Structure 1
Amino acid sequence: MCLFVTDEAGLNAAKPGGRLLGLFADGNMPQEWTGPAAKVGGTDPARCTPNGSFGGPHLSTMASRAIGLLDAQTRHSRKGFFLQIEGASMKMNYATNTPGQSQEHTGTQVRIAAKGPQAAGVLGVTDQTDLFRTLTRALDIR
């Protein structure tokens, strides 16, 4: 059975021991901060401002709660867990990008950490496109 939560109160009430799915928006979550749109070649330095339409739980709240639940569920077990946390909106505007620009983030370095068997393969930063292969090796999936 999977517990489905849609707000911070539901997330906070979740207990370890089962599957949890948190969907906090009908589509992409609103960004907490707004600033100039990304463009090819970069943008000039700018200050971001709070986004008045942001209303979901903060990324740090979701990440901390997920780690706490997974840790409690696996603490006395030989089984570990995998949790992927993404905090960027790199994939949001594919429809408005010109050809060749929508995949510019592919291959970028992302922070990664692990504990347990083959943890050395996921330490520090990794190429975003290598994560799938790293996980399949660690899980011995062919």
Structure 2
Amino acid sequence: MPLPEDADLEGALRFAREEGHAKASELYRMLAETAPSIPIVSAAWAEISAQLPATVERDRLQRQMVEMGVFARLSSCLAESDAGHIEDIVFDFALHPGLISVLGQQPTKLLASLVKRIQGASWCEDSRKPRECRRRINPKLSRGRSRGA
């Protein structure tokens, strides 16, 4: 889910630093860096998950993907314009037993569809801030990198 509009990440980060909470400070810093990409990943997931068969427990699948860090990695790769690693997510989670148990099959097609949706910017036209969305998606994400790199 996207962050609430009234979320004060800067204030939370400043407080954590002032109070000497290094782990919280690092968490807030990472969240601030990936915050612009969270709505993009969330919108892509909403679109892809709506196409799942009725037999798939969408909430359970989403929880599993959150716990595994799939959405966090997608947001991080998008924020960093890391084309190679966003595509690696498909391979990294393709054989995960938790996803297989929820889907009843390998999640390769689901993950590939999600990555492909994130790589395409056409759906940004419907977002609240289309110009910002287009800027956040680096064109390199569509090209990927060679596997030998």
Structure 2 length-normalised TM: 0.23
Larger radius of gyration: 1
Instruction: Give TM-score, length-normalised by structure 1.
Output: 0.24
Which has the larger strand fraction? 1
Higher relative contact order (CA 8 A, sep 6+): 2
Greater fraction helix:
2
